[in-house]
Amino acid sequence: MTNNKPVTIYLIRHGEANAAWDEDPDPGLSEKGKLQSEELKKELTQDLSSSFEAISSPLLRAQETAKPLKETLGFDLNINDTFAEIPSPGIPLSERRNWLRGIFNAKVKELEEPQLFWRNSIIESLKVLQKDTIIFSHFMVINCVVGWIKNSEKFVSFHPDNCSVTKIRREKDEFEILSIGRDFTTTVQ
């Protein structure tokens, strides 16, 4: 069911994590990441409507990014597995960095079934949002959405910085990008 009311969606990349993707399956925020989330709170408090939903990836770094804004505005944070990091089933932690390098250069049609299912689940979830929504999530989730809206063949189409905000709008079945979050070059070493 698609909602016909215009909905603004804020896709927020988590703050800097205290460990790399191949070092810890669920790191929290670094000290810098905590400062970034405080700055995000200042940025978003002025932009949000009075009625919105807040969703977070189940991963700690996304939930910790939401914490300062949640404490200020007092909203409920709904945990939703759909917006978790890109799945890498069967890939040992020590090999995730190399696997991720391949994904950075992949085209959507080259993704495997777990990643395609994940991508489609994200897109379908956005289609049924009933009100303005903040989603605390990850680099690849944001790329999934932006690439889909742009109808890009490439899976990674930009490099959202930590705590950057990508703002999109859905009206009926049409999606548009209102603003792309701050960009920075992420290196997967």
- What pLDDT is attached to residue 51? 87
Instruction: Give the predicted TM-score (pTM) of the model.
Output: 0.93
Residue-wise pLDDT for 125-170, tens only, equals: 999 999 999 999 999 999 999 999 999 999 999 999 999 999 999 9
Q: Judging by DSSP bridges, how do beta strands 7-13 and 165-171 pair with one another?
A: antiparallel
Question: What torsion do the CA atoms of 81, 21, 89, 161 make, to the nearest 10 degrees?
Answer: 50
- Length of the chain, please? 189
Q: Which domains does the chain have, with CATH numbers?
A: 7-179 (3.40.50.1240)
How many Å apart are CA 175 and CA 167, to the nearest integer?
11
For 108, the token pair is 């959507």
Residue-wise pLDDT for 47-93, tens only, equals: 887 789 999 999 999 999 999 999 999 999 999 999 999 999 999 98
Per-residue exposure over 138-171, b if at least 16 CB sit within 10 Å of its own CB, e if not: bbbbbbbbbbbbeeeeebbbbbbbbbbbbbbebe
